[in-house]
Homo-oligomer: A and B are copies of this chain.
């Protein structure tokens, strides 16, 4: 742990004057706020502030700005890239008590929530409206955290990521000023696009305190299925052909045999432990059955088998819950193991090649347990490594393979992160992904908005 400096102590006292006992330095609470669900080593902050209003966040930022103390936003702690690790100490701003749903505009298909509202909480609230919020990472993350990391999930192929689903935000800047990024109109050609600048900024430009998201109509009919394949290549080819046949899938997920075995054990399901697609169609009754039939044909052409249409809502929700828990299932394979998920995303035309080369690379060079799960309709897949936490050799094997995987994805015009963000671990890959000049533009924006560098330092961008 960092020794808490005099300036930090002073900041804590000043914030306490306003928040009282909602400022904590309890070691267990600090420890909890210093790590997420990723493999990254936790580092606790110097204090945690449990905020209840935008004014409080603004007061904290103004104070930290004056005293040059790092500020780290905290939602549910379910990040995958160490976003909340207090690498330079500082103040963790816990937004979980800012969990009010402020406004649901059913006529406009949007709603405004405080940053601490979670995706399940929101969908529970929307249940009677005939509308839903679509973005669904595995965890029950906060909407603010999902906006900050540009999160996505299983139905991005149809409804988009947070990038497409955030309409506007309120953000507290480094010096405590509060801005609203946009109006609530569906389109606008006014101003620079601040909304998209803050979506995915990982707390490094400001703290997101309020989010207006788009909602979608619950479809009249939903049809879902699982289908398995003897080889992973056949499964990927079936996905690509479905995409290219212009069949509008709502979800299309790939899981390899090892991941299916982990799911069976964790979620007590009995799927075939072979490469599997989970798929779902949304639309009118007739549209959905047209789509399902067309997809069935494509799977048959690619030797799909054990085709199982889920007959009802419970079966469907069991299947998707199993999918959402895939990361937890991987972590449970070897308790105490270090679990690391890669996150590359490539153009769909390169997906089969990328997965195939990666599997060959794993077979050739790696003795680690791995599994694969992916939002293949987006070209995004996670290769998951299960590591012995005490083995330096395991870690080095993984690092080398991970580096080659990212290199491969970038050579295919892809990205080192489809949805988990950059956090601590992937900053080094950004020069290769964007080039020095584009990275310098990003750094100059960072400098303009956060001249002292107090906003979640050590994350998102490499140092100059």
Contacts and interface: CB of A to CB of B under 8 A. Distances in A.
Interface stretch (A4-12, A90-98, A172-180): A172-180
A179 B287 contact: no
A202 to B, nearest CB: 9
| Copies of this chain held together in the complex | 2
A356 to B, nearest CB: 16
Contact of A189 (B188, B417, B445): B417
A2 interface: no
B444 A449 contact: yes
B418 A179 contact: no
Nearest to A286: B286
Given A244-B107, A449-B441, A188 B435 contact: no
A299 interface: no
B187 A419 contact: yes
B200 A197 contact: no
A359 interface: no
Contact of A181 (B179, B190, B414, B438): B438
A220 B413 CA distance: 30
A40 interface: no
Interface in A377-394: 378-380
B378 A187 contact: yes
A186 interface: yes
Contact of A194 (B180, B190, B438): B438
B193 A200 contact: yes
Interface string A434-456: 11011101101111110000000
Interface stretch (A20-28, A147-155, A322-330): A147-155
B415 A177 contact: no
Contacts of A220: 246
Closest 10 CB pairs of A and B: A196-B196, A107-B349, A188-B415, A217-B246, A184-B413, A179-B438, A448-B448, A185-B345, A150-B189, A444-B448
